Amino acid sequence: MSRIRAGRRWGLGLRLVLAIAMSAVIIFPLYWMIVVAFSARADLLGPELRFWPETFTLENFERVLTTFPVAEWFGNSVAISVVVSTITVAVNLLGGYAFAHLRFRGSTALFIIALTTLILPLQVIMVPLFRLITGLGLYGSYWAVILPTAASAFGLFLSRQFIQGIPRDLIEAARIDGAGHFRVFAQIVLPLSKPLIAVLFFMTLLQSWNDFAWPLIALKENSLFTLPIGLLYLQGQFGADYGGTMAFALINVIPLAVLFLLFQRYFVQGFARSGLR
Amino acid sequence: MELSRRHFLAGAGAVSLPLVLAACGFAPAAPKSTPKAGTLTFTTWGTDSELAGFRKGISAFQAANPGATVTLNAVPYKEMFTNIDAQLQAGNPPDIFRVQYYNFGSYAGRGQLLDLSTQLDSGFRDRFTPAAWSAVQNGGKPFGVPHHTDTSAILYNKAAFETAGVGPVPTAVEDAWTWDEFEKVAQKLRDSMPADKYPFAVNWQGNGVTRWLNWLFQADGRFLEDDLVTPAIKSKAGATALDFTRSFFPKGFVPPSDSVQSSTLAADIWFSQTSAMGFAGAFLIPSAAKTLDFDWGATFFPRNVRAGGDLGGNALVATSETSNPELAASFLDFMTQEQPMRDFCSGASLLPTRADLVAGGIEFAQRSDLSPVFVGQASVVQAQDAGQVASPDMTKIITVLKDQLELAFVGGQSTDDTLTAISAGIAKATGG
Amino acid sequence: MTGQFVAGQAPTVGSGRSARPRTRPRGEARAAYFFLTPNVVLLGLFVFLPLGGALILSLQRTDGFGEGSFIGGANYAQLLSDPLFWRAAVNTVLFTVLVTPLSMGLGLLAAVLLNSVLPARGFFRSIMILPMAISGVATALMGVLIFDENSGVVDKMLRFMGLPGVPWQSGGAAAFASVVIMTLWWRVGFNMLIYLAGLQGISPELIEAARLDGATGLQRLRFVTVPLLGPSSFFLLVLNVIYSFQVFDLVFVMTGGGPQNATSVLVTYAYDQAFVTRDQGYAAAIGIVLMVFALVFTAVQWRYNKSRDRGE
């Protein structure tokens, strides 16, 4: 008995050390980001090894906050990301149900084709997509960003996995009772999908929040830009302003990180219930 | 594709109307003297001081032309031309944009820019230096105005020079170090510096590979013949320039990360004091003055058979399908008048393209003691050198130079093979 | 409850199914069209239509500005003999082969570790997933700063310890490694998250049963846990491969494809062709080839997964 207990204690110690080591490696770049954000430029280029800002300064933040209309861009980011996430969730929930529970010809092939849209990098379709957006008259409005971004099959993949996990018996029972598919969807699938909705909404929010290449091209005017575009401005013609870049990256990441940490538990739950065992 | 036909028709319309009017004698004789009205969109990137300079110029223009509005759209440098390309292809480009001289040809040679010879009067060329004017030509016609120029000189760390015992630094462009003298200076530095520091760093990274041409021109070489199609680089001058610049790496004069395709900029190497000298343009002066805490100065680029420099800097251009070509031309004219150009250049530490300002000199707002070095350096840029950069295939040539020089510097490719490959690549790019 | 949540498996249904055999397929197909319409419209309009445009472009020689000239499959033929294309393709495959198993393996280890009893477990988990919130560009910029071979902190630390600095920018293999390292840093949290969720879906009785049968920790992991995590692994495999094939920001910002094309991948090569060399047709061809590779891979993976499920 004592050997097992000792073994367990030793195991615990080792595991704790491993966990700490792992976390330290992960946190180091983040720590560095913070150090750089609070350092003066001259410090960054010095030859000595330093783990702490020599001169702790807020000048990077000041510079970045005065140069860019951060509040405006923040608002744009929020508006766009929330709408994209909402549309994505709605569209992919419907689609996920179709692929998960409805039998129709070509369902597998269609699904794989939809999946391949995930592979398409923006750079390949950038010009044709831009022509399309201009042709549709969307150029320079939020919709130029919202619609193409919402057209993502990641949610479809996830929804299908999750909804497949909803017992078919429940669905069958409702159908026998005479319910149409939409009623089944609304009354049975939807209430059971809360974790899926949370996860999908958040993951889409995350991706859309950090998107910059397409918003830059599709949102004509500076006043409509989203927050990450500011990072690009800081990579000037003559080299990057690292202090400002990291300060800005911090500003960009903090709302997300906060949301993340608050809802971390729901994610794990959401993914768990998605039948991704 | 209908879009390109529309481009063409719109562009043709914009250009032909003034011609018709001129033929019928209805066109105003001197467009720049009558105030214009309308709206223009002007897309550009820039440092804070450059953007401030543009805004100031725009206010002055609007004041002189009530009824005219110019909207400045400042975009990140990294994505500037990807966006301009996409906008041009989708049919909704800005009216005016700023473009580097080496990129100018790509747009001018493809009918994307407004032909200014029909908009501005014939004496217009006289206000510029020949080198600057040659940089905005395509097919013998001007498609933009040279707004400012920039050329590389040497920034040096005074303490490092003292430690190495480097003698007095040239203060007149005629006395610039020769290649031999420069090599001796570099060797002195190499001997006195620790192994992880280097005598200098050259600013030929990425699209800055055109700075290698400085050395080619100084050996009195060319990369294109006058027809701007036939390669001219496989020559004794080419070999001299390449041999000399290649030697920097094995001799430990430059850090290994100072190659052409490196993502580390020479400026950062010099700023961090990893090198004693850094080749740089004047535009670095404001940020250097603000952030560096060591003593530094500037001196001229070395010379060989002759002095020579590449013409860095940017032009302002109007797009061929702008809806208000007269106003656009008028704006371009305004921005290159004496006062606006002087204000812009001294505020942003850039060099003027007007002959009168080059002769009289301008003073930088910061480190004005260094203005003579850069103005002097710019004065040795020759039209025959600058004109080659205006080739419509320049961006393709830049890719060839990037690939081959990288192989020569850090890939062990011989000088002969490199020149042959560059020559072949240029021929492929120009179709000649 | 857990038994019914296995994805991909259609549980047997009661007699209600056979009651209305003929109306079912037609009714279902019609319902399917209704449910799928928003998806089809969005994907069709904003993905497939531009993709079609890209396909047409790939059959032309054009710089995008003027009329292109139709050259049929010449771009594709050129790809076959273009050493730079093959270099980019090899690099992309190498990148995928390195990043995918490493991020999944490290994610699994982290998940197993942080699923076990530990103090401050929630804290450790939060740290691991924090990198997910950071954008690709910001990650790459951090990488540039940290791995700079002249003034970056990694080399400074190495030199401090008396070791030679690693040429992260001027050495091909080192540059590749730096990109892989930053990618792993960025992606391990996501992999861990999925596996954590998967682990929590495994009923503890199964693990307990294996332990009572005498299986060691490692054996339990290998023979019970990992097989039960099959669906999670499949999900991660597909996503990781898709992501690796289309990696752009990290490579572009950290190394620009250098030194000497050591880190050039398919998407950076396509981008260079489109916007620097301005051969839009050729760039489009590269993109189409990339898609076809990935499509083939996904279909194969799908087929394999389906047969594996059926075989269980």
Residue A45 has a pLDDT of: 64
Task: Supply the CATH number for residue B35's domain.
Answer: 3.40.190.10
Residue C19 has a pLDDT of: 45
Q: In this complex, which of C2, C8, C39 lies closest to A92 when CB atoms are compared?
A: C39
Residues of B in contact with A229 (CB under 8 A): 76
Q: Is the pLDDT of residue C204 over 90?
A: no
Q: How far is the C-alpha of C43 from the C-alpha of C237, rounded, in Å? A: 23
Beta bridge partners of B98: B316
Same domain (yes/no): B404, B272: yes
Q: Is the pLDDT of residue C11 over 60?
A: no
Task: Supply the CATH number for residue A88's domain.
Answer: 1.10.3720.10
The residue with greater pLDDT, C86 or A272, is: C86
Q: Is the pLDDT of residue B20 over 60?
A: no
Taken as a whole, chain B contains a residue count of 432
Report percent pLDDT > 70 for chain B: 91
Q: Is the pLDDT of residue C22 over 60?
A: no
Q: In this complex, which of B90, B273, B292 lies closest to A130 when CB atoms are compared?
A: B90
Q: How far is the C-alpha of B240 from the C-alpha of A139, rounded, in Å? A: 52
The Cα of C216 is separated from the nearest Cα of chain B by a number of Å equal to: 49
What ipTM describes this predicted complex? 0.84
Q: Which band of pLDDT confidence, cut at 50, 70 and 90, is reported for residue A9?
A: low
SS3 A242: helix
Q: How far is the C-alpha of B212 from the C-alpha of A188, rounded, in Å? A: 69
Tokens matching residue A198: 């949370």
**Burial class of residue A224 (count of CB atoms within 10 Å of its CB; 0-12, 13-18, 19+):** buried
Is residue A62 a part of any domain in this protein? no
Q: Is the pLDDT of residue B31 over 80?
A: no
Amino acid of residue B121: D
Number of other residues whose CB lies within 10 A of the CB of residue C226: 15
User: Nearest-CA residue of chain C relative to A271?
Assistant: C197
Same domain (yes/no): B183, B116: no
Beta bridge partners of B156: B277, B297
Tokens matching residue A265: 């538990």
> What's the mean pLDDT in B231-241?
93
Residue A238 has a pLDDT of: 63
Is residue A145 a part of any domain in this protein? yes
Q: How far is the C-alpha of B355 from the C-alpha of B122, rounded, in Å? A: 17
Residue B237 has a pLDDT of: 94
Secondary structure letter of residue A188 according to DSSP: I
The Cα of C25 is separated from the nearest Cα of chain B by a number of Å equal to: 44
Q: Which band of pLDDT confidence, cut at 50, 70 and 90, is reported for residue A75?
A: very high
Is residue C89 a part of any domain in this protein? yes
Residue A46 has a pLDDT of: 64
Residues of C in contact with B259 (CB under 8 A): 170, 259
Start-to-end CA span in chain B (Å): 28
Contact A277 C129 (CB under 8 A): no
Distances (CA, A) of B172 to A28, B168, B213, B406: 50, 12, 22, 33
Contact B430, B391 (CB under 8 A): yes
Same domain (yes/no): B418, B269: yes
- A239-252 burial code (b ≥16 CB/10 A, e <16): bbbbbbbbbbbbbb
Same domain (yes/no): B320, B368: yes
Same domain (yes/no): B73, B178: no
Residue among B178, B383, B216, B187 at smallest CA distance from B301: B178
Mean model confidence pLDDT for chain C: 82
Task: Supply the CATH number for residue C237's domain.
Answer: 1.10.3720.10
Is residue A114 a part of any domain in this protein? yes
Same domain (yes/no): B64, B143: yes
- Neighbours of A, requiring at least 3 CB pairs below 8 Å, are B, C
Q: How far is the C-alpha of C72 from the C-alpha of C79, rounded, in Å? A: 13
Residue C276 has a pLDDT of: 79
Is residue C63 a part of any domain in this protein? no
Q: Which of residues 115-174 of C touch A (CB under 8 A)?
A: 116-119, 122, 124-139, 141-146, 151, 153, 156-157, 159-160
Identify the domain containing residue A123 by its residue range.
Answer: 68-273
Q: How far is the C-alpha of B397 from the C-alpha of C20, rounded, in Å? A: 71
Tokens matching residue B188: 């002195």
The residue with greater pLDDT, C86 or B21, is: C86
Q: Is the pLDDT of residue A4 over 70?
A: no
Q: How far is the C-alpha of B364 from the C-alpha of B385, rounded, in Å? A: 26
Residues of B in contact with A123 (CB under 8 A): none
Which phi and psi (to 5°) does residue B145 adopt?
-115, 135
What pTM value is reported for the model?
A: 0.81
The residue with greater pLDDT, B23 or A233, is: A233
**Burial class of residue B163 (count of CB atoms within 10 Å of its CB; 0-12, 13-18, 19+):** middle
- Range among B278-287, C91-100, C223-232 with highest mean pLDDT value: C91-100
Identify the domain containing residue B131 by its residue range.
Answer: 2-148+312-384
Secondary structure letter of residue C201 according to DSSP: T
pLDDT in tens, C231-275: 888 888 988 988 898 888 889 888 887 777 889 999 999 988 888
Q: How far is the C-alpha of A123 from the C-alpha of C288, rounded, in Å? A: 12
Contact A130 B76 (CB under 8 A): no
Contact B91 A229 (CB under 8 A): no
Residue B27 has a pLDDT of: 35
Contact B261 C67 (CB under 8 A): no
Is residue A31 a part of any domain in this protein? no
Is residue A24 a part of any domain in this protein? no
Is residue A149 a part of any domain in this protein? yes
- For chain C, what is the domain count? 1
Residues of B in contact with C146 (CB under 8 A): none
Contact C238, C250 (CB under 8 A): no
Number of other residues whose CB lies within 10 A of the CB of residue C259: 26
Is residue A170 a part of any domain in this protein? yes
pLDDT in tens, B323-335: 999 999 999 999 9
Residue A8 has a pLDDT of: 56
Q: Which band of pLDDT confidence, cut at 50, 70 and 90, is reported for residue C26?
A: low
Identify the domain containing residue C263 by its residue range.
Answer: 84-311
Q: Which residue pairs from B289-293 have beta carbons closer than 8 angstroms and sit at least 24 positions apart in sequence?
A: B289/B366, B289/B367, B290/A41, B291/A40, B291/A41, B291/A42, B292/A42, B293/A42
The Cα of B385 is separated from the nearest Cα of chain A by a number of Å equal to: 24
Contact B346, B362 (CB under 8 A): yes
Centroid of chain to Cα B73:
21
pLDDT in tens, B56-92: 999 999 999 999 999 998 888 888 888 898 888 888 8
Residue A224 has a pLDDT of: 87
SS3 A240: strand
Q: How far is the C-alpha of B8 from the C-alpha of B57, rounded, in Å? A: 31
Q: Is the pLDDT of residue C9 over 50?
A: no
Residue B335 has a pLDDT of: 95
Beta bridge partners of B278: B155, B201
Distances (CA, A) of A119 to A99, C92, C103, C124: 20, 13, 19, 32
pLDDT in tens, A104-155: 888 888 888 887 788 888 888 888 898 898 888 888 889 999 998 888 888 8
Mean model confidence pLDDT for chain B: 86
Same domain (yes/no): B348, B298: no
Same domain (yes/no): B273, B166: yes
Q: Which band of pLDDT confidence, cut at 50, 70 and 90, is reported for residue A239?
A: low
Q: Is the pLDDT of residue B6 over 50?
A: no
Tokens matching residue B349: 């530490």
The residue with greater pLDDT, B29 or C276, is: C276
Query: Which pairing describes strands C69-70 and A239-240: parallel, antiparallel, or unpaired?
Result: unpaired
Tokens matching residue A78: 């929020």
Residue C27 has a pLDDT of: 65
Residue C285 has a pLDDT of: 92
pLDDT in tens, C35-81: 888 888 998 899 889 999 889 988 988 877 777 788 888 889 999 99
Q: How far is the C-alpha of B339 from the C-alpha of B346, rounded, in Å? A: 11
Residue C92 has a pLDDT of: 93
- For chain A, what is the domain count? 1
Same domain (yes/no): B280, B411: yes
Q: How far is the C-alpha of C190 from the C-alpha of A61, rounded, in Å? A: 30
Q: How far is the C-alpha of B93 from the C-alpha of B34, rounded, in Å? A: 26
3-state secondary structure chain B: CHHHHHHHHHHHHHHHHHHHHHHCCCCCCCHHHCCCCEEEEEEECCCHHHHHHHHHHHHHHHHHCCCEEEEEEECCHHHHHHHHHHHHHHCCCCCEEEEEHHHHHHHHCCCCECCHHHCCCHHHHHHECHHHHHCCEECCEECCEEEEEECEEEEEEHHHHHHHCCCCCCCCHHHCCEHHHHHHHHHHHHHHCCCCCEEEECCCCHHHHHHHHHHHHHCCCCCECCCCCCECCCCHHHHHHHHHHHCCCCCCCCCHHHCCCCCCCHHHHHHCCCEEEEEEEHHHHHHHHHHCCCCEEEECCCECCCCCCCCEEEEEEEECCCCCHHHHHHHHHHHCCHHHHHHHHHHHCCECCEHHHHHHCCCCCCCHHHHHHHHHHHCCCCHHHHHHHCCCCHHHHHHHHHHHHHHHHHCCCCHHHHHHHHHHHHHHHHCC
The Cα of C172 is separated from the nearest Cα of chain B by a number of Å equal to: 11
Is residue C198 a part of any domain in this protein? yes
Tally the C-alpha atoms within 13 A of residue C285's C-alpha that lie toward its C-beta.
Answer: 22
Q: Which band of pLDDT confidence, cut at 50, 70 and 90, is reported for residue A270?
A: low
> What's the mean pLDDT in A31-40?
88
- For chain B, what is the domain count? 2
Same domain (yes/no): B289, B417: yes
Amino acid of residue C201: G
Asked if C291 reaches chain A (Cβ–Cβ under 8 Å), the answer is yes
The Cα of A221 is separated from the nearest Cα of chain C by a number of Å equal to: 22
> What's the mean pLDDT in B234-239?
94
Q: In this complex, which of A49, A110, A206 lies closest to C160 when CB atoms are compared?
A: A49
The Cα of B372 is separated from the nearest Cα of chain C by a number of Å equal to: 32
The Cα of A104 is separated from the nearest Cα of chain B by a number of Å equal to: 38
> What's the mean pLDDT in A240-269?
82
Q: B138, B261, B391, B407: which to substitute to probe chain C, counting the most C Cβ within 10 Å?
A: B261
Beta bridge partners of B149: B313, B351
Contact C16 A175 (CB under 8 A): yes
Same domain (yes/no): B97, B228: no
pLDDT in tens, C156-198: 888 888 888 888 887 889 999 999 999 999 999 999 988 888 8
Q: Which band of pLDDT confidence, cut at 50, 70 and 90, is reported for residue B390?
A: confident
Asked if A14 reaches chain C (Cβ–Cβ under 8 Å), the answer is no
pLDDT in tens, B245-298: 999 999 999 998 898 887 778 988 898 888 999 999 988 888 888 878 899 999
Could you tell me if residue C60 is left (phi over 0), alpha (psi between -120 and 50 degrees) or otherwise beta?
beta
Same domain (yes/no): B80, B158: no
- The alpha-carbon radius of gyration of chain A (Å, integer) is 24
Q: Is the pLDDT of residue B360 over 50?
A: yes
What one-character-per-residue DSSP string does A133-164 give? HHHTT-TTSTHHHHHHHH--SHHHHHHHHHHH
Asked if C284 reaches chain A (Cβ–Cβ under 8 Å), the answer is yes
> What's the mean pLDDT in B27-36?
48
User: Nearest-CA residue of chain C relative to B113?
Assistant: C65
Secondary structure letter of residue A227 according to DSSP: T
pLDDT in tens, B133-182: 999 999 889 999 999 998 899 999 999 999 999 989 998 988 999 999 99
